[in-house]
Structure 1
Amino acid sequence: MANRSSDEHKLWMRSFHPASPGAPRLLCLPHAGGSASFFFPVSAALGPEVEVLAVQYPGRQDRRAEPFADSVEALADELFRTLDPHDDTPLALFGHSMGAVVGFELARRLVAAGRPPAVLFASGRRGPSRVRVETVHQGDDAGLIEEMKKLNGTDLTLLDDPEMLQMILPAIRADYRLVETYRRGPGQRLSCPVVVMTGDADPRVTLDEARSWEEETTGAFELLVHPGGHFYLVPQHRAVNAQIREYLRRLAPRTDAQVRAR
């Protein structure tokens, strides 16, 4: 799947469970401050029917020694170069919060290269054309911690551990800077389907902002609303995984037995 060396590919893409031959691929992009391991439960739930790959951004966990990305676009460029242009396995993208924006920019690059993703799942994020001035990344550590508590996406015990905070806050701040300074650049709309998932009580995304993703594609659009806040997908994991699985089943090639049964 990678154009680069195997070791470099493993830096970006993490595979937690084996997949069946020919299984559609789901590339998962984490939220601000998140890591590939956030999607371990998704991989466990969808495998082996789906090959789940989770992206590990630079500057955290085993990539702590690497510099943070300069922009969302730079992240998308790196990911695009990592994907094998000759691999015809159906590729779906799932991005949560900041990951939805990274997924959108990656999808734009894939569309421009003539190999659009099978679907973009955009979770917990307003449409790219909806601009809101946000400056959390410019505040002090206390403000950043308060924001994380408000969104309820981080284990609260970590936020009370000074040593752990020293390790995770730089990555979180860097990611907030990326997503808060991101502005959609000019360019054509996507041609792939876009499925938007959101929580009905998300303090950062209104239903109108979630629905605005429809403006970003000429393909099919679907809005799925779940009970919960910004990290609705954790308590609603069964429903979310079921929706992803059902959509990706349409991408899997039929076996000879399935064809004969029609």
Structure 2
Amino acid sequence: MNSPLTEGTEDNGRWIRRFHPRPDSRVRLVCLPHAGGSASFYFPLSRAMPATVEVLCVQYPGRQDRRTEPLLDSVPALADQVYEALLPWTDRPLALFGHSMGASLGYEVARRLERRRDFVPTALFASGRRAPSAYRAETVHLRDDDGLVEEMRELSGTDPQLLGDEELLRMILPAIRADYRAAETYTWEPGPPLRCPVTSLIGDDDPKVTRDEAAAWSAHTEGPFALEVFPGGHFFLARHQPEIVRLLTTGLETPERV
């Protein structure tokens, strides 16, 4: 699902990319990338969503056009910044979709929206990530560069051409390491459950999340919960885009059924 930045991009304070503006849409879907990912990862999804849904893709600092900016290596710090960047976009219903680290970040952004502004998101879609309360001890961020690259290769979410470009790879590894540090050191702080519906999406062969860890998302909302399992590994999204577009569209049009 990787794609370069393209025409039609809009930058709201550097954080938000709107690849396909849909001013008459009924709802906005905020897409939060995985560790090492960028806003352009969601370009194909943005293009595929119906006219009723406008997709806003989040761009983290330290990559692409933000590569010279200081990195953020904690989920709460990222969540604070994303929350502020999204406030101008809350004039209509807003849903959140995050993959891997982006799912943890989406949860924290939803908490901030509900707590600070009493704004209930239409839905949270948590993809490829265990529930916030399902702890795992992970130390990929402590590996050397070769170990970090091997992790990326095993998860099959990075363009093989990029993995083969030594100079470019070394340039982006600091941002990837910061993201992994954020994801792996994230600690859930108990608090009120979300009020919005939550859907967990996972691959049935994903080494990063089990079915039980995904099902534990149900404890983090007082709204409806659903678990959707797809064939594939950690980056099952690329293989199942049509099904995921249908699932998101249905959930956003009838959130009470999510």
Calculate percent identity across the aligned residue pairs: 56
Name the CA distance, whole Å, in 2 between partners of 1:78 and 1:244: 25
TM-fit CA distance, 1:70: 3.7
Q: 1:219 aligns with which of 220, 223, 243?
A: 223
Over 3 Å counting, the alpha-carbon distance change for 1:17 and 1:74 in structure 2 is same
Q: Which residue of 2 aligns with 1:110?
A: 113
Which piece of structure 1 moves more, 105-114 or 120-129?
105-114
1:235 aligns with 2:223: no
Q: Deviations over 1:64-110 (max 9, x none)?
A: 11111141001111111122368331100000000000000000111
Q: Aligned equivalents of 2:89 and 2:230: distance in 1?
A: 37
- Tell me how far 1:247 sits from its aligned partner: 1.3
Instruction: State how far apart, in whole Å, the 1-side matches of 2:26 and 2:13 are.
Output: 20
- Answer yes or no: is 1:146 the counterpart of 2:121: no
Does residue 36 of the first structure (1) align with residue 47 of the second (2)? no
Partner SS, residue 94 of structure 1: strand
**1:72 partner letter:** V
Residue of 66, 77, 80 corresponding to 2:80: 77
Residues of 1 paired with 2:22 and 2:90: CA distance? 16
Query: What letter matches 2:106 in structure 1?
Result: G
What amino acid sits opposite 2:186 in the alignment? Y
Distance across 2 between alignment mates of 1:214 and 1:32? 24
Pick the aligned partner of 2:15 from 9, 12, 20.
12
2:29 aligned to which of 22, 26, 29? 26
Q: After the TM superposition, which segments of 4 or more aligned residues of structure 1 sit over 6 Å from their partners?
A: none
Residues of 2 paired with 1:245 and 1:8: CA distance? Answer: 25
Contact 1:92/1:120, CA 8 A, preserved across alignment: yes
Which whole-Å CA distance do the structure 2 matches of 1:242 and 1:87 have between them? 24
Q: Tell whether the 8 Å contact from 1:20 to 1:49 is kept in structure 2 after alignment.
A: no
Offset, 1:47: 4.1
**C-alpha contact 1:20 1:48 (8 A) present in aligned 2:** no
Q: CA RMSD in A?
A: 1.5
Q: TM-score, normalised by structure 2?
A: 0.91
Q: Is 2:66 aligned against 1:63?
A: yes
Q: TM-score, normalised by structure 1?
A: 0.90
The total of aligned residue pairs comes to 245
Match of 1:197 in 2: 201
Alignment check: 8 A CA contact 1:19 1:47 kept: no
For 1:83 and 1:156, the matched residues in 2 are separated by 33
Question: Which segments of 5 or more consecutive residues in structure 1 lack a partner in the other structure?
Answer: 1-6, 252-262
Matching residue's letter, 2:218? E
Match of 1:156 in 2: 160
Report SS of the residue matched to 1:67: coil
